[in-house]
Amino acid sequence: MSDDSGADLSRRQMIVAGTTGLLSATAAGPTRAAARGRSEPADGTPEQIHLTWDDDPTSTVVVSWASAGQAVRPRVRIGQRVIAAAERAYTDALSGTIVWTYHARVDKLRPGATYGYAVTADNDSNGADPFSATFSTAPAGRARFRFTSFGDLATPNPAWASSYGQAAYAVGAVETFQPLFHLINGDLAYADLTPAAQPQVWRDFGNNVQASAANRPWMPVPGNHELELGNGAHGLASYLTRYTLPSNGVDGLDGRWYAFRVGTALFVCLSGDDVAYQDGGGFVAGPGPLVPAPATGHPPLAAGTSRYVRGYSGGVQTRWLESTLAAARGDASIDWIVVQLHQCACSSAPGGNGSDLGVRREWLPLFDRYEVDLVLSGHDHGYERSFPVRGCDTDAGQDALTGLTADTRRPHPVTTVDSGVFDTSQGTVHLVLGCGGSIPAPGSPRNPEAPTAGGAPGMGDVPGTAGASGTGAASGRSPVREAGVFTRPGRPVPGGAAPGGYTRPAADAVEEATWSARRDGSTAYGIAVFDVNPGSDAGGQTSVTVRYYHAVGADQVSPATGQPGAPSGDYTLFETFTLVRPRSDGRRWHLKE
């Protein structure tokens, strides 16, 4: 892979807190980090080390990790400072395994500086040579920076459902591009698909991503596969125990959604399961019950039991979102608003889930009103880009079974000219980035995300020529690109491979995807790279250059064996486009009605 935009890391001052010496950037690279995480049972050796931003990325970072046993005096050393870590633990509801995690908030750092740190404990079996790595704080003010994104990663361990070796290459791709931080758009470990071994799946996930996440913050949002049966009020105990994230100020709901700012961009990270119609969390497919380990004392879970949490915040998240967006657009030092969530408002992936009316109804009017520039999602396994959209076309869909008119609130494209440069002050661009490293491409037999009545493979990535969905083809409509849309609650329903079993329903409506600009029909795997340029003049123009790289061939399925091709680290450029908008320091913004 080549990087023709240049990286700013080499230009940053490299400082070790409490000293005046310089630190080599290669002192603790990904290879060394990846070799860690092999602790003996019941000791406090740090593993699964990862970074997240706190409320101020210019001055604070959180170092988090886990250990096989309870750690004694867990701590982070940075220069001459020693920061004690807070312990957080939970007991997995299905296996009875206790998971120990630790979190150290490192503050009073300098903007745009690179620091070395070490993680250890008194019962660290590597105590003589503890784990060490580097990270960089965010720059202050109007500065260039880079971030990357994908979702739906899983682990490289094929013993777990949905895991595939591409997950290791995906982590390596992040390191190749050396972003300041990475956005992971939900469906992290897929531990819920292997219920008897959820903590082990999370451990494999954490030790894989450590090769990158120990060197730069990985900022997650919860996806449907983070909703685990029995683990907390909303199934998020595993996720919330492992991650310390910026506060949203809502008692009892911290960590589920949040925002942080880097330079002139505000990143708003949402919990899509709160508004989405789809039920994608843990569920018991049956026909028999799911029986927790006897040591847990928990009763069996009957077939059809699911983790459906739509509406869990009671509208609090949406009210928080509107106030956050309003404050951002009233701030002349913020140009860009990037929203991250798991479920899709704009997806026409063949064999995937499709779009969700719950997201469209609840949040797209706010994205329009406050000129959200970019929405990043995962969920459907691949890549798709929309035209800039604003407003909606009513009564543009059809019921998948009856063919009757359905109001899918289809997002309205403000242009259908794919010029490569888009003014996001006029409309929001949606990217589906469910292209991390989990199971092969949408529509393949190994894809557990594929709905019951999934669509046929697409024919290409040109609007109007992609294959119709199965429902569209059955109803005799022309083979234009179509999107499935969930317009009503979609809990598991009776059905599946065996009598007495349950399955997830497919989208209940379809629409012509007039909003779809381009979709990658060649592979499900890739990474998006974003370079933010704040511009040089007050009142001038700012831009974000977006490059999408894909790993062609990594998910090709052999017609003879039905098995996927070998994972690949060869990520090549698929497309480049640029988002532009007027800088906020020279423009009076008006609320859109």
Provide CB contacts within 8 A for 345, sequence distance 6+. Answer: 355, 356, 359, 360, 363, 364, 375, 377, 411, 430
* 3-state SS class at 423: strand
Alpha-carbon 385 to chain mean position: 16
Contact 150, 527 (CB under 8 A): yes
pLDDT over 50 (residue 34): no
Mean pLDDT of 392-400: 96
User: Which of 96-105, 265-274, 468-477 is the least confident region?
Assistant: 468-477
Average pLDDT, the chain: 86
Give the chain's radius of gyration (CA, Å).
23
Is the pLDDT reported for residue 400 higher than 50?
A: yes
- Which of 394-403, 451-460, 560-569 is predicted with the least confidence, judged by mean pLDDT? 451-460
Find all residues with CB under 8 Å of 92, minimum gap 6, and list them: 98, 99, 198, 199, 231, 238
* pLDDT for the residue 561: 57
Range with the lowest mean pLDDT among 146-155, 202-211, 442-451, 559-568? 442-451
Q: What is the pLDDT of residue 217?
A: 98
The larger pLDDT score, comparing residue 12 to residue 276, is at 276
**Cα–Cα distance for residue pair 215/85, rounded to 1 Å:** 18
H or E element: which one contains 133? strand 131-136
Whether 224 has a pLDDT exceeding 50, the answer reads yes
CA distance 247 to 258: 6
**pLDDT at 222 > cutoff 80:** yes
Q: Which of 350, 355, 538, 570 is nearest to 454 (CA)?
A: 350
What pLDDT does residue 281 have?
77
**pLDDT at residue 248 is higher than 70:** yes
Alpha carbons 170 and 208: distance in angstroms, whole number: 10
- Please name the helix (run of DSSP H) or strand (run of DSSP E) that holds residue 590, with its range, or none: none
366 vs 460, residue with greater confidence: 366
Residue 460 has pLDDT above 50, yes or no: no
Supply the pLDDT for residue 490.
86
Of 105-109, 468-472, 492-496, 516-520, which gets the smallest average pLDDT? 468-472
Percent of the chain with pLDDT over 70: 84
Look at residue 367 and tell me whether its pLDDT is greater than 70. yes
Q: What is the mean pLDDT of residues 442-468?
A: 34
Q: Is the pLDDT of residue 200 over 90?
A: yes
Q: Are 328 and 336 in contact (CB under 8 A)?
A: no
For the stretch 91-121, what's the b/e string if a residue is b when 16 or more beta carbons lie within 10 angstroms of its beta carbon?
ebbbbebebbbbbbbbeebebbbbbbbbbbb
Q: Report d(CA 425, CA 405) in Å as an integer.
A: 32
DSSP assignment of 528-555: EEEEEE--SSTTSEEEEEEEEEE-TTTT
Structure tokens at 402: 């009856």
State residue 396's pLDDT score: 96
* Residue 267 pLDDT > 70: yes
Domains annotated for the chain, with CATH where assigned, are 9-586 (3.60.21.10)
Residue 347, pLDDT above cutoff 50: yes
Q: How far is CA 123 from CA 73, 208, 232, 568, in A?
A: 8, 23, 29, 38
**Distance of alpha carbon 236 from alpha carbon 215, whole angstroms:** 25
Residue 566 binned pLDDT confidence (cut-offs 50, 70, 90): confident
- pLDDT, residue 41, reads 55
What residue has token string 């005799």? 476
Q: Is the pLDDT of residue 27 over 90?
A: no
- 352: confidence class by pLDDT, cuts 50, 70, 90: confident
pLDDT band at 213 (very low <50, low <70, confident <90, very high): very high
Handedness of CA 24, 139, 64, 120 (dihedral sign): positive
Q: How far apart are CA 179 and CA 351, in angstroms?
A: 32
Q: Does residue 53 contact residue 60 with C-beta atoms inside 8 Å?
A: yes
Give CA torsion, residues 458, 462, 465, 471, to 10 deg: 50
% of residues, the chain, pLDDT over 90? 77
Compute the distance between CA of residue 325 and CA of residue 211 in angstroms, rounded to an integer.
Answer: 34
Averaged over 403-430, what is the pLDDT?
Answer: 97
Cβ-count burial 4-22 (b if 16+ within 10 Å, e if not): eeebbbeebebbbbeeeee
Q: What is the largest CA-CA distance in the chain?
A: 72
Q: Let me know: does 554 contact 527? Beta carbons within 8 Å.
A: no
Q: What is the DSSP letter of 233?
A: T
- Nearest-5° angle of CA 228, CA 231, CA 235? 50
pLDDT of residue 496: 75
d(CA 382, CA 151): 9
Q: pLDDT tens for residues 317-327?
A: 999 999 999 99
Helix (H, G, I), strand (E, B), or coil: what is residue 415?
coil
The whole-number average pLDDT for the span 119-136 is: 97
Entry pTM: 0.89
pLDDT score, position 539: 87
